[in-house]
């Protein structure tokens, strides 16, 4: 279990469905603020359909999606190809790893713990799979993780499949794992509502990372307006 310090607050934004490029720009602002001494933050949102490739990902894993109409973005995170779209809860924590002992692997395991606990709150037994990053249910992948680290501040994050529609994964090799099957909270018998999943995940996140509580990130005319450090 990772502890950020019981006096720290986590700033949380839940802006709904956000274009992928805009979300990356928001993260850049939050990373810069964190490096300047500002607080940790967590963006929880959905994206319009988009495929992303990690910084060293093999583009062949996109399959026919690479020539389709859905945008493709190569980004700074680790990991291979994945899909984001409506019905998937995407989380972008911007967290200083100094409080976690500058241990990236420990941080990844803590994110997995948050996701396992969130899924478990809906009566679904989720687990890790040895040798892989992410979370699994009955041999199928339900959540993916891919992060970047800049001067010991982690960003990018995780994607938890909530709704039933997983068609966006059909034409790719998700996470570069041949033959992998994807699943979701709804497909495992839980609710398919992203909005209803957010408070459950926030509660697990602050518990596992040891924050004292949360406060909202401000928005102005649809733009993220983080407080000064």
- Residue 143 CA to residue 125 CA, distance in Å, equals 13
**Tokens 């966006």 belong to residue:** 168
Task: Report the SS3 class of residue 107.
Answer: helix
How far is CA 180 from its chain centroid?
19
Residue 42: what are its φ and ψ, rounded to 5°?
-140, 120
- Residue 220 CA to residue 145 CA, distance in Å, equals 29
- Considering 95, 166, 175, 194, which one is annotated as catalytic? 175
- Residue 184 CA to residue 85 CA, distance in Å, equals 13
Go through the chain and tell me how many residues it has: 229
- Residue 191 CA to residue 176 CA, distance in Å, equals 28
Q: By the 8 A CB rule, do 143 and 119 touch?
A: yes
- Residue 3 CA to residue 26 CA, distance in Å, equals 25
Catalytic site residue 175? yes
Query: Which region, left, alpha or beta, applies to residue 213 given φ > 0 means left and ψ of -120 to 50 means alpha?
Result: left
Any idea which residues carry the catalytic annotation? Answer: 175
């Amino acid at each position: 279990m990772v502890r950020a310090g019981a006096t720290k607050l986590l700033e949380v934004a839940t802006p709904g469905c956000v274009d992928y490029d805009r979300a990356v720009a928001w993260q850049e602002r939050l990373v810069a603020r964190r490096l300047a001494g500002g607080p940790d933050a967590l963006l929880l949102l959905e994206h319009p359909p988009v495929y992303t490739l990690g910084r060293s990902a093999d583009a062949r894993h996109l399959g026919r999606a690479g020539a389709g109409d859905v945008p493709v973005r190569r980004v700074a995170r680790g990991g291979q190809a994945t899909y984001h779209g409506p019905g998937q809860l995407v989380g972008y924590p911007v967290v200083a790893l100094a409080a976690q002992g500058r241990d990236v692997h420990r941080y990844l395991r803590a994110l997995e713990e948050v996701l396992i606990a969130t899924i478990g709150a809906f009566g679904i037994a989720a687990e890790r799979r040895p040798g892989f990053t992410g979370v699994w249910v009955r041999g199928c992948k339900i959540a993916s993780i891919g992060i970047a680290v800049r001067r010991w501040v982690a960003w990018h994050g995780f994607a938890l499949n909530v709704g039933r529609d997983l068609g966006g994964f059909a034409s790719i090799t998700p996470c570069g794992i041949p033959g992998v099957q994807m699943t979701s909270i709804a497909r495992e018998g839980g609710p398919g509502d992203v909005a209803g999943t957010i408070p459950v995940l926030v509660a697990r996140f602050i518990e596992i990372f040891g924050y004292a509580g949360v406060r909202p990130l401000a928005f102005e005319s649809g733009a993220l307006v983080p407080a000064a450090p």
